[in-house]
Structure 1
Amino acid sequence: MRIRRLPSALVNQIAAGEVVERPASVVKELLENAFDAGAARVEIEIAGGGRDLIRVSDDGSGIDPDDLPLAIESHATSKVAEAADLDAISTMGFRGEALASIAAVCRFSLETRTASHEEAWRLEVVDGVTSEPAPVSGPVGTRVEVRHLFQAIPARRRFLKSESAESSRVAEVVRLLALTRPSVGFRLVSNGRTLIDLPATDDPARRVLGVLGPELEGRLLAVNGEIGHAADGTLVTCWGLVGVPETARPTSRQQRFVLNGRAIVDRSLAHALKEGFRGLIDPGRHPIGVIHLEMDPSRVDVNVHPAKTEVRFRESRPLHGLIRHAVRAALIEADLARDIPLGDSTPETGSSSPAVSSREPVREERDSTFDRTPTPGSDFVPGGGGASSSRRPDSASRPGATPSVAAMRAAVDSMSLPKEDGGPVVRDGDTEAIDVLPTLVGADAVLQIHESFLVTQDEQGLVIIDQHALHERVMFEMLSQRIAKGPLESQRQLVPEVFDADPSQLVALETIESLLERLGIDAAPAGPRSIAVHAFPSLLLSRRVEAAPFVSELLERAAAGSIDHDDDEAAMAEVLDMMSCKAAVKAGDRLRPTEIARLLEMRDRIDRGASCPHGRPTHLRIPITELERRFGRSSS
């Protein structure tokens, strides 16, 4: 068969396969044209899921009558004029393909009027034949009407889903683009029924609530950050809203990213958002968030995807850090302690932590590998020696057993209880009430319960702390701070610890070699099926973490793909999670009063003490108002 030049109508139909996938694609292209025209309000009307009718009307600047014939020609546009313009695209459209592609697969009409003309002008395309523009009455702006989409291409029409499914896709596109333009009003009507009606607003939070749902009222946190400098064109600003950890969803469908007003999809940005929530949500859940990025258009290429939803950044790593740090800063400022009701209220399902679900609290299993014995003079925090831990010899060690009064009294014996005149109170051993139950006085008073939980108070009520989860968070933050300054301090082993390794672990050893160096771990093959650990972090050794089992598990996780080899920061966070969990005190470890005080002091100093690195809460609060209600007391 000889090579031939294709007719323009067929060329446009082929091009439409990339630009016009389904009715939602048509709506997206027409709305973006409306944005470029400066529209303040757009009306979308569809019928038959968009198969039978799509009508988009805007109040933008309109098209000059002399330009109407060009508007529906391929690669005719007012938005770029030369190749250099592609290096800094600031408009939504720029290829000049959309209207020509749409008109090639439907019965098409366009009515438009500029402010300088007294009448509107109408142009039609039917079966590839374009009519001459004709004057009609109409307001300033543009109205595009698409009828019988894919009528002349039955194969494409058959691939469309049901009417309700296509209508849902159109609605999703409208909601997405509405998030990019809070200052523009949107209305979507399907078969005469209003599906979306979003008035223009100068408050982005109102638009987010209107799109994602009013149930997020009071559960959104503002995010702000910036990097670079305006003088050299490197300034990047980040702003938006994220949901509190309890609003996390099973999927990432409620995450939206907007770059210079353009809705985009980017896995790196989504990863940065989730990393900002690391330790506050379960790893299998995804935060809600709408993040806007604004930067010099010359630093990003938007001409890499037919639908213009994917972009290529000149430097993506700084953007990852910007979003992650901005989200983290917003979460740090928020009080993330979970209030828990008593008795007649059911915890919210889908919580970010099993500890607030209807299931029993998760207890950490004791592992003989990490049993620790008391070390005289040892400090509780990392780097200060071994953790003080001992088992109770009596039956109170059993799960569910009630600790003795003497055990509770021991936790507060070192505290000076104030009298009314400010002097110390002399304990009266003959006072029956004190012998029966200790008294908590002052904000610093604390009890250890079941050698697993600490009970204290704050200005809002009673606070119950999971000692393992809190110490795990403390360890994670300290390790993060240390690793940011350089490789962790390590200690050479007098005799290398050797363990059996399978081939996948040997491969992983080579793959994550640079990561191990930063962690202060020196490990090398010691034969065809074994690995020797020659050096191990001093901090972990001080916490009685054994080198060989730790490195073996680390390599096993790396071999299984649990550690992201392509993202150094994510891989490091994953390993620090593991290290902090292994080194932290466990449920069942008895803590001395000085250790408890030190732990609570660190809780006030770390960035985010509300959850452990795995997302479980470190503490829960029972509001004083709830206690008063349950005891039938007035709060006045």
Structure 2
Amino acid sequence: MGDIIQLLPDNVANQIAAGEVVQRPSSVVKELMENAIDAGASNVQLIVKDAGKTLIQVIDDGKGMSKNDLRMAFERHATSKIRSAQDLFALSTMGFRGEALASIAAVAQVHCASRTADSDVAHFLRIDGGKLVESGQEAKPVGTSMEVKNLFFNIPARRQFLKSDQVEINHITDEFERVALAHPELGFRFFHNQHELFYLQAGNLRQRIVGVMGKKMDKHLVPVEEKTEHVAIRGFIAKPEAARKKRGEQFFFVNNRFIKHHVLHHAVVKAFEDVLPNGYHPAYFLFIEVDPASIDVNIHPTKTEISFADDKMIYAMLSSAIKHSLGKHNVAPSLDFEIGNTFSFPSMPKDRPVQIPKIQVDTHYNPFSQTTPERRPATQGWEKLMIDDLQPSKATPTNNAFSNAEKESDYNPFYQQQKNYKARLFAGSYILYEDGEIIYLIHPKRAHERVIYDELMRSIDKHTVASQQLLFPVDLELSPTDAESLKEFLPAMTSLGFDAEIQNNQHIVFFGIPTSITESSLPGIVEDILSDIKEIGSMDETQFNRRLILNLSRSAAVKRPEHLQDEAIQNLLTNLFQSNEPMISPRGKSIVFSLTLQELHNFFNS
């Protein structure tokens, strides 16, 4: 048999290597920004078009490259950062393998121009799919400009696996934030489709965190600092009230390199366990400085995973440092007496029309009438609103599955002609409902979610979502990333009764909200929306509407069923039993548990 093993051509080998190094546009952003930092840049610009599919450009004012270095930079395993294997354990730079640029050039069209301080002109290269197409000189300032166009243009199979623009730009933003947080001493700018998302000036770490995460984070930051002979820990943790149900604001940096480490994350969560509700994740921005010889960063192509020589020591130090900070700084809510007695309300846009409040007057009302209207028993707070909200609709929708009584009596286990249900609260948590020889236990919150969800869905279909204008607009601070994410879905929010707009790319201001929710629920609803956008990524208007309605129904549903009175229980059951799906909540949870008399007999006679 003849020889069948052969050496692969360089361009094929580079494309294979690119599969590990360049997984998506954000991988290119990470490598190019880290190269800019390693080049000693003071300012770095990131310019992106079409979520990196059309263009990724990084411009820095670093030391630049000579003509020969520029050519060598695109060769495989060519680097200026290490000389021997021993240097891997004394790394002071972000990159070290020398394979990123060669891998990027193998799957994209690259134009790189670089100028050193002792040169009058910049040298440039143009590479298409790993092949040098053109080289020469051009006028450029000192530093390097790297343009990566049409990523995966020569590998259509890889390009078609890229996600939507929203998903890809979220990944790019994540990489940008990680690099920017790791280097607050540098200036960064980020443009997407000619729109500036971030303009971060050089400053200290606290200023950088606020610049990236938004001004709302500033009041929650608690400093952390601990130093021993072997490890130094510094940075900030956020107070418990800034915790979120989903992860997203957890950052570890080891020797200024962003990493993911589940053991260290557990150390932080463990330190917060006595002050944080279950299911919430603390926010933190923590920097760990150790001897480079005591860690190994060469275990994954993305270099976000590292191995410590002594995990247990780092774990103990980190947990101790956080507990010390939580104890040293009062994390309980407190009044700030240094703030003046002033109120800050968001200003109305100049081009926004002013609407005259509508006042409804009952022209037939006579205060001297002998007739005394029937008065409803006094209720407190939310329950009064809930009783009004749970009043059964007089007009039954034409598409309601219960419009045909004879048909639905076979379909719905709850169907009956009577309106007065034999129901009461059981253990302050459930509704106990008796129907003949069947006993039902009903989860009030899930039942209320189902009622609100169905009502909103019907309103969407009929374009009749009720909205209420707010006396004072509600202003919520956002990070630039979150503000940009919400912009795309503002029209869909409008169709659900919201009247809101993004201001200054760091605020969302609500002028009106759906009648089914309250102002106090807005922060939680916005947080849920942003979590869904980050988790799901690409959503059309129909998908977004459904997710938003899910969040609205959960936020508006009764929170304390032990305060439900008979009238509210009756109204809740009436509305629930008119639903097409009374057994299952909108989130797929069971609403009803049933037990028949025969099942009881079987249990006791077994």
The alignment's TM-score, normalised by the length of structure 2, stands at 0.54
Q: Is the 8 A contact 1:45 1:190 kept in 2?
A: yes
**Alignment partner of 2:233 out of 238, 243, 246:** 238
Question: Could you say if the C-alpha distance between residues 145 and 334 of structure 1 is closer, same or farther in structure 2, counting changes exceeding 3 Å?
Answer: same
Q: Does 1:226 align with 2:200?
A: no
Q: Does 1:320 align with 2:315?
A: yes
Q: How do 1:216-365 and structure 2 match up within 5 A? A: 216-227=217-228, 229=229, 235-339=230-334
**Alignment partner of 1:180 out of 179, 182, 192:** 182
Q: Is the 8 A contact 2:238 2:284 kept in 1?
A: yes
Which residue in the other structure is 1:347 paired with?
none
Aligned-partner Cα distance in 2 for 1:249–1:3: 54
Aligned-partner Cα distance in 1 for 2:119–2:309: 43
CA drift of 1:131 comes to 4.1
Opposite residue 116 of structure 2, the aligned amino acid is: T
| SS of structure 2 residue aligned to 1:217 | helix
Aligned-partner Cα distance in 2 for 1:182–1:261: 11
Which residue in the other structure is 2:215 paired with?
214
CA drift of 1:134 comes to 1.4
Opposite residue 223 of structure 2, the aligned amino acid is: A
CA drift of 1:164 comes to 2.2
Aligned-partner Cα distance in 1 for 2:284–2:332: 20
Q: Is the 8 A contact 1:42 1:57 kept in 2?
A: yes
Opposite residue 147 of structure 2, the aligned amino acid is: E
Q: Does 1:98 align with 2:112?
A: no
Note the residue ranges of structure 2 that are not aligned, 5 or more in a row. 337-381, 384-427, 429-606
Q: How do 1:534-573 and structure 2 match up within 5 A? A: none
Q: Is the 8 A contact 1:51 1:149 kept in 2?
A: yes
Q: Is the 8 A contact 2:206 2:218 kept in 1?
A: no
Which residue in the other structure is 1:38 paired with?
40
| SS of structure 2 residue aligned to 1:287 | coil
Aligned-partner Cα distance in 2 for 1:61–1:284: 47
Aligned-partner Cα distance in 2 for 1:174–1:182: 12
Opposite residue 13 of structure 2, the aligned amino acid is: V
Opposite residue 95 of structure 1, the aligned amino acid is: R
Q: Does 1:153 align with 2:155?
A: yes
Q: Is the 8 A contact 1:105 1:150 kept in 2?
A: yes
Q: Is the 8 A contact 1:226 1:322 kept in 2?
A: no
Aligned-partner Cα distance in 2 for 1:122–1:326: 49
Cα RMSD for the two superposed structures: 1.8
Aligned-partner Cα distance in 2 for 1:173–1:319: 25
Q: Is the 8 A contact 1:23 1:50 kept in 2?
A: yes
Which residue in the other structure is 1:196 paired with?
198
Opposite residue 303 of structure 1, the aligned amino acid is: N
Which residue in the other structure is 1:112 paired with?
114
Aligned-partner Cα distance in 1 for 2:315–2:258: 17
Opposite residue 48 of structure 1, the aligned amino acid is: D
| SS of structure 1 residue aligned to 2:267 | helix
Which residue in the other structure is 1:64 paired with?
66
Opposite residue 318 of structure 1, the aligned amino acid is: M
CA drift of 1:336 comes to 3.1
| SS of structure 1 residue aligned to 2:219 | coil
Aligned-partner Cα distance in 1 for 2:56–2:8: 29
For residues 242-273 of structure 1, what are the alpha-carbon distances to aligned partners after superposition, in whole Å with 9 as ceiling and x for unaligned?
11111111123210000111111111111111
CA drift of 1:170 comes to 0.9
CA drift of 1:207 comes to 0.5
Q: Is the 8 A contact 1:68 1:133 kept in 2?
A: no
Aligned-partner Cα distance in 1 for 2:223–2:24: 35
Q: Does 1:53 align with 2:55?
A: yes
| SS of structure 2 residue aligned to 1:45 | strand
Aligned-partner Cα distance in 2 for 1:25–1:67: 23
Aligned-partner Cα distance in 2 for 1:172–1:4: 41
CA drift of 1:338 comes to 3.5
Question: Could you say if the C-alpha distance between residues 339 and 90 of structure 1 is closer, same or farther in structure 2, counting changes exceeding 3 Å?
Answer: closer
For residues 29-77 of structure 1, what are the alpha-carbon distances to aligned partners after superposition, in whole Å with 9 as ceiling and x for unaligned?
0000011111111111111110111110001111121211110000000
CA drift of 1:132 comes to 5.6
Opposite residue 30 of structure 1, the aligned amino acid is: L
Q: Is the 8 A contact 1:53 1:145 kept in 2?
A: yes
Question: Could you say if the C-alpha distance between residues 7 and 278 of structure 1 is closer, same or farther in structure 2, counting changes exceeding 3 Å?
Answer: same
For residues 168-207 of structure 1, what are the alpha-carbon distances to aligned partners after superposition, in whole Å with 9 as ceiling and x for unaligned?
2111210111110001111111111111111111x21111
Note the residue ranges of structure 1 that are not aligned, 5 or more in a row. 230-234, 342-357, 360-398, 400-636
Which residue in the other structure is 1:418 paired with?
none
CA drift of 1:87 comes to 2.0
| SS of structure 2 residue aligned to 1:276 | helix
Q: Is the 8 A contact 1:171 1:195 kept in 2?
A: no
Q: Is the 8 A contact 1:171 1:196 kept in 2?
A: no
Opposite residue 216 of structure 1, the aligned amino acid is: M
Aligned-partner Cα distance in 1 for 2:240–2:6: 60
Aligned residues: 337
Q: How do 1:549-628 and structure 2 match up within 5 A? A: none
Aligned-partner Cα distance in 2 for 1:337–1:68: 55
Opposite residue 115 of structure 2, the aligned amino acid is: R
CA drift of 1:340 comes to 9.3
| SS of structure 2 residue aligned to 1:250 | coil
Q: Is the 8 A contact 1:184 1:200 kept in 2?
A: yes
Aligned-partner Cα distance in 2 for 1:333–1:252: 26
Aligned sequence identity (%): 41
Aligned-partner Cα distance in 1 for 2:262–2:238: 19
CA drift of 1:142 comes to 0.6
Opposite residue 269 of structure 2, the aligned amino acid is: K
| SS of structure 2 residue aligned to 1:142 | strand
Which residue in the other structure is 1:13 paired with?
15
Which residue in the other structure is 2:76 paired with?
74
Aligned structure 1 segments of 4 or more residues deviating by more than 6 angstroms:
none
| SS of structure 2 residue aligned to 1:218 | helix
Aligned-partner Cα distance in 2 for 1:257–1:281: 20
